[in-house]
Amino acid sequence: MSLAPGSTIGIIGGGQLGRMLAMAAARLGYRIVILEPQPDCPAAQVANRQIVAAYGDPKALSELAAASAVVTYEFENVPVAAVRMLSATVPVYPPARALEVAQDRLTEKSFLNDIGIPTAEFRPVDNDDQLTEALRRFNGSGVLKTRRMGYDGKGQRVFRNMETGGFAGTCEAMSNVPLILESLVAFEREISVIAARGLDGTIAAFDPAENVHREGILRSSTLPAAIRPETAAAAKDAAAKILSALDYVGVIGVEFFVLADGSLLANELAPRVHNSGHWTEAACVISQFEQHIRAVAGLPLGSPARHSDCVMENLIGDDMLKVPALLAERDLILHLYGKAESRPGRKMGHFTRVTRAQ
């Protein structure tokens, strides 16, 4: 049964993704309540109500459940215990299992391999000796990552063609948390697929975007990606396999490395709307944000078809100085996030240049 217009959707997290979800929900006639500890967060500026409290606060979670017909979230580090608590009294989508998989890179890679989706090689690392052994297996090269809580390139260290050994203190420098070493991949490009699964099991995938990262942060997403049709189809098929295996409801982002022969290695998944899908608000009739709201509300999924080619770019830190010039351009859609302070490395907004079909 679909959610009636006028119903309230709860969103855990008040950043820019929550903001864009709230805007999409309003267009479909829904009210929004945000759970976010930061007052006047980007999402609260366009929502009906904000509960100012920590994400795991039991009283706040009870208040959110009582106010909402369904609950979703805008980031993958929501406490799993909080989602399980909420799920006892109100539907929560995506399911807790998706969070459990995505929150631990070792669990995530193992899950992907178990359902037949290849990834880079990987080894768990809990101490410097294990790091030395893992690097020896990967010929002295690899990417060392924290297993949990990393994003936008944080919590990572790259090793390239280094002699194995002599890494005393590395794990301590990374706070002695559980780590994972992934082999370096000789890829030609990075792509991502934004896909959705509805309550009835229907799946819809947007076209893959070709992504460029700098300093661990997404800078641009280009459509169409410079890949073969069979590579695009394989990426969509892999995303559908992940959605079905997790009994997922909502939008997911799946990142891939494209190898020279066109084959794919899955890099990571995000159980939420995704930065590399922001282009959909400019180049599709149904954006990833509306698609997510449709899914969690039990509405029919919209068409993921693209009506224009486009390039989406993030505005990061001082990129905000470009805004007046951007606003003077034709065929450009600008979206600012309502953040009061611009800082280096902080995503302040994005813009999408569209190429209209002739």
Q: What is the residue-wise DSSP string for 143-171? A: EEEESSS--TTTTEEEE-SPPS---TTHH
> What is residue 330's three-state secondary structure?
coil
Phi, psi of 333 (to 5 degrees): -110, 125
d(CA 321, CA 325): 9
Residue 135, Ramachandran bin (φ over 0: left; ψ between -120 and 50: alpha; else beta): alpha
What's the CA angle centered on 28, arms 23 and 32, to 5 degrees?
A: 50
Segment holding 101, helix H or strand E: helix 96-102
What's the CA angle centered on 17, arms 13 and 20, to 5 degrees?
A: 115
Q: What is the pLDDT of residue 172?
A: 80
Q: What is the pLDDT of residue 165?
A: 63
Antiparallel, parallel or unpaired: β 179-182 and 122-125: antiparallel
Residue type present at position 229 = P
Q: What is the pLDDT of residue 356?
A: 76
Q: What is the pLDDT of residue 185?
A: 92
> Is the peptide bond between 224 and the residue preceding it cis, with omega within 30 degrees of 0?
yes
> Which two structure tokens, joined as six digits, stand for 196?
């959705």
Q: What is the residue-wise DSSP string for 203-242? A: EEEPPPEEEEEETTEEEEEEES-SS-HHHHHHHHHHHHHH
d(CA 15, CA 18): 5
d(CA 338, CA 317): 13
> Which two structure tokens, joined as six digits, stand for 60?
């706040």
Q: Which residues have a Cβ under 8 Å from the Cβ of 182 and sit 6 or more positions away?
A: 105, 109, 119, 120, 121, 122, 142, 143, 145
Q: What is the pLDDT of residue 151?
A: 57
Query: At which residue do the structure tokens 């990571």 appear?
Result: 268
Residue type present at position 157 = R
Q: Structure pTM?
A: 0.94
Q: What is the pLDDT of residue 116?
A: 98
Closest Cα to residue 125, out of 133, 114, 117, 116? Answer: 133
- Tens digit of each residue's pLDDT (9 = 90 or more) over 54-74: 999 999 999 999 999 999 999
> Which two structure tokens, joined as six digits, stand for 81?
């215990």
Contact 291, 304 (CB under 8 A): yes
d(CA 283, CA 354): 7
Q: How far is CA 52 from CA 16, 64, 208, in A?
A: 17, 11, 37
Q: Which positions of the chain have pLDDT values less than 50? A: none
